[in-house]
């Protein structure tokens, strides 16, 4: 029966995102050129590169949120864009409508919509999952506050909680550390590591080439094309960094 074959596939296919020959253009602007990558589960993977390098575009294209010119992105051998319920994605801050009139609880409950279905009441399991996620990011004191009234770092923690409530297999955060303090940054990294250790795919766009780079196991260095990818030490090499950033930049080499 079909079901048996499906389970067999799950066991034999690695929990890996495979991107092949991906090209993306916005009208006349070529944003990504022939991107070939694998992203492994169980690892903290960072995407780095200068402003406008195509980091956000790569994420949106692989999840099927914007059109691609050619290429494909698969997870466990199947089209990634058709597995959206397995993806928890927190866009870059500027892409979020902060005036949205919802409380912390509402926003985190949205993570349960796919499991519940629109127009259905949330189950006790869903309510418990949302509360557990809010607790995990240390935001219970804010549960009935409108999301628009929170600081940038607090908002990031709530969006992380929403992705946790979703119980996804692939977690993706676009520049989650922008404007957050060291304490929140540490909370976010801690949870990202827990997700990776639990065998999930964790993909984080990160601007900082300083010491926080050591938090990542694997890196993707991007500037319209993949300049380097693989384990952190193999990517953080002067030649590749200078090629990506177009000149001398300081970075944490260890």
Ligand X SMILES: Nc1ncnc2c1ncn2[C@@H]1O[C@H](COP(=O)(O)OP(=O)(O)OP(=O)(O)O)[C@@H](O)[C@H]1O
Q: Could you list the residues that contact Mg ion (CB under 5 A)? A: 55-56, 92
Q: Could you tell me the CA-to-CA distances from 121 to 13, 31, 95, 105, 144 in Å, in that order? A: 35, 42, 29, 15, 19
At its nearest, how many Å lie between ligand X and the CB of residue 135? 31
Q: Using the minimum distance from each CB to ligand X, give the nearer residue, 206 or 215.
A: 206
User: For residues 23 and 116, which CB has a smaller minimum distance to ligand X in the complex?
Assistant: 23
Write down the least CB distance from residue 56 to Mg ion, Å.
3
85 closest CA partner among 118, 58, 125, 123? 118
Our CB check for ligand X shows the closer of 142 and 216 to be 216
Backbone angles phi, psi at 228, to 5 degrees: -160, 150
Choose from Mg ion, ligand X, none: what does 53 bind? Cβ within 5-8 Å by kind: ligand X
Minimum distance from residue 35 beta carbon to Mg ion (Å) = 15
The Cα 69–Cα 118 span in angstroms is 32
| Residue 62 vs 150, nearer CB to ligand X | 62
| Footprint of ligand X (CB under 6 A) | 26, 29, 31, 49, 51-57, 92
DSSP 121: P
| CA neighbor of 180 nearest in space, from 145, 206, 213 | 206
């Amino acid at each position: 029966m079909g079901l048996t074959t499906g389970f067999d596939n799950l066991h034999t296919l690695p929990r890996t995102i495979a991107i092949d020959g991906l090209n993306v253009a916005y009208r006349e602007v070529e944003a990504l050129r022939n991107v070939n990558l694998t992203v492994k589960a169980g690892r903290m993977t960072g995407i780095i590169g200068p402003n406008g390098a195509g980091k956000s575009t790569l994420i949106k294209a692989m999840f099927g949120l914007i059109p691609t010119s050619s290429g494909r992105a698969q997870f466990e051998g199947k089209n990634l864009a058709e597995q959206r319920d397995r993806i928890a994605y927190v866009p870059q801050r500027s892409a979020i409508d902060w005036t949205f009139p919802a409380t912390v609880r509402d926003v985190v409950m949205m993570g349960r919509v796919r499991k519940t279905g629109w127009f259905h009441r949330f189950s006790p399991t869903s309510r418990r999952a949302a509360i557990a996620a809010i607790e995990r990011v240390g935001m219970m004191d804010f549960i009935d506050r409108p999301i628009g009234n929170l600081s940038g770092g607090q908002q990031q923690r709530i969006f992380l909680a929403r992705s946790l409530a979703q119980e996804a297999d692939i977690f993706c955060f676009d520049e989650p550390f922008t404007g957050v303090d060291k304490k929140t940054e540490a909370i976010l990294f801690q949870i990202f590591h827990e997700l990776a250790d639990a065998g999930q795919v964790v993909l984080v766009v990160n601007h900082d080439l300083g010491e926080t780079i050591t938090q990542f196991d694997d890196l993707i260095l991007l500037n319209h094309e993949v300049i380097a990818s693989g384990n952190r030490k193999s990517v953080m090499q002067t030649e590749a960094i200078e090629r990506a950033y177009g000149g001398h930049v300081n970075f944490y080499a260890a």
